[in-house]
Amino acid sequence: MGEAGALTMRCVQINHNFIKPHEGLDRRTPSDAARIKVEGRNKWLTIIQKAKSRQEPKVDGQNSGGQKPSS
């Protein structure tokens, strides 16, 4: 499976676990059943924003590993 396929499967997994209600869980998501809350009206947007806020910001003249790029 290529990079695009892996990304698609990850999106399906996120949708299944955090967004789509399940009849077997009384119309709750698995994350709701596990008491993991995703706040907001647009759960996809909330998940993306949380993922983005966890990334290390790049600093001028340095890569994300904290080292200066080689010339």
pLDDT means over runs of 10, the chain (71 residues): 92 94 95 91 92 73 53 51
d(CA 25, CA 32): 9
The Cα angle at residue 38 between residues 31 and 64, in degrees rounded to 5: 105
Question: With contact defined as beta carbons under 8 Å apart, do 1 and 9 qualify?
Answer: yes
Is the distance from CB of 61 to CB of 71 less than 8 angstroms?
Answer: no
Predicted pLDDT at 37: 87
Find where tokens 């499967």 sit: 9
What pTM was estimated for this model as a whole?
A: 0.65
